[in-house]
Copies of this chain bind each other. A is one copy, B any other.
Amino acid sequence: MSEKKLAIIATKGTLDWGYPPFILASTAAALGYDVEIFFTFYGLQLVNKKMNLSVSPLGNPGMPMPLGMDKWFPVIGTAIPGMQSMMTSMMKSKMKSKGVASLEELRDLCIEAEVRMIACQMTVDLFEFDSKDFIEGIELGGAASFFEFAGESDISLFI
* Residue contact B74 to A13, C-beta cutoff 8 Å: no
Q: Are A84 and B94 in contact (CB under 8 A)?
A: no
User: Does A115 sit at the interface, judged by CB under 8 A?
Assistant: no
Q: CB of A72 within 8 A of chain B?
A: no
Q: Tell me whether A59 and B62 are in contact in the complex, defined as CB-CB below 8 angstroms, given that A20-B158, A100-B122 are known contacts.
A: no
Binding site for B on A (CB under 8 A): 4, 6-7, 9, 11-14, 16-17, 19-20, 23-24, 27-28, 30-31, 33, 40-43, 45, 53-56, 58-64, 74-77, 79-84, 94-95, 98, 100, 122, 125-127, 129, 142-144, 146-147, 150-151, 153-159
How many copies of the chain does the oligomer comprise?
A: 3
A144 touches B31 (CB 8 A): yes
